């Protein structure tokens, strides 16, 4: 769904070399190149969400499988992000940055030319895989290019602003392209942006890479990615077969359980783990990652269903659908700025708990949605509550995810915020889409009507939003119980994370 971004404090996938002290004379031009690449990634997410109903109709994708348009991307991105950061550090950040651009553009071309659902899903997965190496490479390039603390702060400020503004632009551009050309151009547009970034990056961006141990945790990557994929597939099968106890569903869940448990055991025993367990066992960090997973699960499905509600129930055009999300984007960006100023004075626990409670209230509000609900009277207030709540959660979340983390684990810890959110979103979309599909089938049977009727569809949305509200409420409880204020660890203090650059946390 709509990818709206809040700026938080986090580390990057690599640390800058201690011997790099000279200022790069082309550093601000390099920032322009990196910002263009980031704009492409942000635009892609929001554009695709607006285009989903049109793509589903043209490619004859059923309701049970439509979630793969989102989850194929988020699973690949979230599952490979930690590995992508290491690849960028070890192979060379500029080289991987260029590879990511070329691959993302190629995958976008494949998706735009898709002739069936399998081709589109594969293209989205490829986009996610290349995005997983492009995103950490871009963040690392900013870190090593801007060696002055003040310059780096400005650079990440620009990077975060591009992310926030880009999300809003994507909503509008997605609506324009879908309505006046074709949903396919929502993917093709990435090609032109990538070409501009590549042409500029070759002469401007400098190469850098980490030295020393360059071993990869391939088994851990495979076990975690396949395990999460099996879990999502199990939800999808449950929706297609309208049964949680069919053989394929139970086998999928069993495979997921074995692989994910095996992943945890493996990470505690090998010398070069993809995810060092010391990063997640800390109370604040573990609480942050758990909160991120549950929030991602609760929020991402909401955007999916609201897009379909706008276009199929309210009969909004794609452009009007995109415009309808702009207040959410604006409120999120404004709240992020306010929360950043309050964080050093209030601390993360109070801000995050308030934000989670407010977001939960907004989701409960949406459970009352009807086929003829007013945008101004019903939907807009819920969007504002959700956006303000999310802004209050995600700004401190990046900070608490780095509480007490050692310098050499900062990249893994910060990448985990995006990883857990993307993985949580994948699981949430799969779960909620399954709940929606089974609900409308039951409603149709019980009320002797078609599952495709507006009444059945809206009932399905309400039930899905109820599950989302429960997830958001659970995340608020986790925050209240696990997150603790520590003035020494708050951004701007003397503790860990004080020098960590801002990163971007994506919602939906």
Most confident of the following: 109-113, 174-178, 268-272, 324-328: 109-113
The reported pLDDT for the residue numbered 504 is 42
The reported pLDDT for the residue numbered 471 is 96
Is residue 156's pLDDT more than 80? Answer: no
User: What is the C-alpha R_g of the chain?
Assistant: 21
Distance CA 386, CA 332 (A): 9
Lowest mean pLDDT among 141-145, 306-310, 430-434: 141-145
Mean pLDDT of 185-205: 93
Is residue 22's pLDDT more than 70? Answer: no
Distance CA 71, CA 78 (A): 10
Is residue 7's pLDDT more than 90? Answer: no
Sign of the C-alpha dihedral computed for residues 228, 230, 231 and 235 taken in this order: positive
Mean pLDDT of 252-270: 91
Tokens of 461: 């949305």
Distance CA 395, CA 377 (A): 28
Exposure letters 389-422 (e unless 16+ CB within 10 A, then b): bbbbbbbbbbbbbbbbbeeebbbbbbbbbbbbbb
Tokens of 368: 């009352």
Distance CA 88, CA 100 (A): 10
Q: How high does pLDDT run on average in the chain?
A: 83
pLDDT in tens, 211-252: 666 677 889 888 988 888 888 888 878 877 777 788 888 999
The reported pLDDT for the residue numbered 9 is 37
> In terms of DSSP bridges, do strands 4-9 and 502-507 run parallel, antiparallel, or are they unpaired?
antiparallel
CB 137 within 8 A of CB 97: yes
Q: Which residue has the tokens 């090593």?
A: 144
CA quadruple 461, 462, 463, 466: dihedral, nearest 10: 120
CB atoms within 10 A of CB 454: 16
Which residue in 478, 473, 491, 476 sits closest to 347, CA to CA? 491
Distance CA 32, CA 453 (A): 48
CA distances from 19 to 22, 95, 154, 193 (A): 9, 21, 22, 34
Q: Degrees (nearest 5) of the Cα angle 303, 308, 311?
A: 125
Lowest mean pLDDT among 28-32, 278-282, 457-461: 278-282
Point out which residues pair with 506 in neighbouring strands. 5
Count the residues in the chain: 508
The reported pLDDT for the residue numbered 491 is 45
Lowest mean pLDDT among 61-65, 210-214, 356-360, 470-474: 210-214
Lowest mean pLDDT among 3-7, 74-78, 138-142: 3-7
The reported pLDDT for the residue numbered 497 is 36
Distance CA 1, CA 16 (A): 34
The reported pLDDT for the residue numbered 340 is 81
CB atoms within 10 A of CB 494: 9
Supply φ then ψ for residue 410, to 5 degrees. Answer: -60, -40
16 or 60, greater pLDDT: 60
Supply φ then ψ for residue 8, to 5 degrees. Answer: -130, 180
Q: How distant is the alpha carbon of residue 154 from its chain centre?
A: 24
5: enclosing H helix or E strand:
strand 4-9
pLDDT in tens, 117-135: 999 999 999 999 999 889 8
Lowest mean pLDDT among 113-127, 180-194, 274-288: 274-288
Lowest mean pLDDT among 36-45, 352-361, 403-412: 403-412
The reported pLDDT for the residue numbered 492 is 42
CB atoms within 10 A of CB 478: 22
pLDDT classification of 495: cutoffs 50, 70, 90:
very low
The reported pLDDT for the residue numbered 178 is 92
CA distances from 343 to 392, 415, 495 (A): 9, 21, 15
Distance CA 26, CA 145 (A): 9
54 or 276, greater pLDDT: 54
The reported pLDDT for the residue numbered 239 is 73
pLDDT classification of 108: cutoffs 50, 70, 90:
very high
Sign of the C-alpha dihedral computed for residues 442, 447, 450 and 454 taken in this order: negative
pTM of the model: 0.81
Helix axes of 93-112 and 27-59: crossing angle, nearest 10 degrees: 20
Point out which residues pair with 4 in neighbouring strands. 507
The reported pLDDT for the residue numbered 410 is 61
pLDDT in tens, 80-92: 887 887 788 788 8
Distance CA 48, CA 127 (A): 12
pLDDT classification of 362: cutoffs 50, 70, 90:
very high
The reported pLDDT for the residue numbered 409 is 66
DSSP character at residue 379: I
């Amino acid at each position: 769904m709509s990818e709206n971004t809040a700026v938080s404090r986090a580390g990057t996938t690599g640390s800058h070399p201690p011997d790099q002290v000279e200022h790069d004379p082309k550093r601000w031009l390099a920032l322009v190149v990196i910002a263009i690449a980031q704009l492409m990634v942000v635009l892609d997410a929001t554009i695709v969400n607006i285009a989903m109903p049109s793509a589903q109709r043209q490619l004859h994708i059923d309701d049970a499988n439509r979630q793969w348009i989102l989850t194929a991307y988020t699973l690949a991105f979230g599952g490979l992000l930690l590995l992508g950061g290491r690849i960028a550090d070890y192979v060379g950040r500029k080289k991987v940055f260029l590879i990511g651009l070329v691959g993302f553009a190629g995958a976008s071309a494949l998706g735009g030319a898709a002739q069936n659902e399998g081709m589109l899903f594969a293209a989205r997965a490829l986009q996610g895989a290349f995005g997983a190496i492009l995103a950490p490479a871009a963040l690392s390039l900013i870190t090593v290019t801007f060696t002055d603390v003040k310059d780096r702060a400005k650079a990440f400020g620009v990077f975060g602003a591009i992310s926030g503004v880009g999300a809003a632009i994507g909503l509008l551009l997605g609506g324009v392209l879908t309505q006046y050309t074709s949903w396919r151009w929502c993917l093709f547009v990435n090609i032109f942006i990538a070409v501009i970034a590549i042409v500029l990056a070759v002469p401007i961006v400098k190469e850098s890479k980490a030295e020393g141990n360059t071993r990869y945790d391939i088994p851990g990557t495979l076990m975690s990615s396949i395990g999460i994929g099996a879990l999502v597939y199990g939800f999808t099968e449950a929706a297609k077969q309208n049964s949680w106890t069919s053989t394929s569903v139970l086998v999928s869940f069993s495979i997921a359980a074995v692989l994910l448990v095996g992943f945890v055991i493996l990470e505690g025993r090998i010398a070069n783990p993809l995810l060092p367990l010391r990063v997640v066992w800390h109370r604040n960090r573990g609480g942050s990652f758990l909160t991120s997973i549950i929030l991602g699960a609760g929020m991402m499905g909401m955007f999916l269903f609201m897009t379909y509600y706008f276009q199929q129930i309210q009969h909004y055009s794609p452009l009007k659908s995109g415009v309808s999300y702009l207040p959410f984007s604006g409120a999120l960006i404004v709240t992020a700025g306010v929360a950043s100023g309050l964080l050093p004075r209030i601390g993360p626990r109070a801000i995050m708990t308030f934000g989670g409670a407010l977001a939960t209230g907004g989701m409960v509000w949406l459970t009352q949605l009807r086929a003829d609900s007013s945008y101004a009277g019903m939907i807009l207030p819920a969007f504002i509550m959700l956006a303000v709540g999310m802004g209050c959660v995600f700004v401190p979340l990046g900070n608490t995810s780095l509480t007490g983390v050692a310098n050499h684990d900062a990249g893994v810890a910060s990448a985990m915020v995006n990883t857990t959110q993307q993985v949580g979103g994948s699981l949430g979309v799969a779960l909620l889409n399954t709940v929606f599909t089974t609900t409308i089938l039951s409603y149709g049977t019980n009320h002797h009507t078609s599952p495709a009727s507006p009444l059945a569809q809206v009932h399905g949305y309400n039930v899905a939003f109820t599950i989302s509200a429960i997830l958001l409420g659970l995340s608020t409880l986790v925050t209240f119980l696990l997150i603790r204020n520590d003035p020494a660890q708050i951004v701007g203090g003397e503790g860990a994370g004080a020098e960590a650059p801002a990163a971007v946390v994506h919602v939906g």
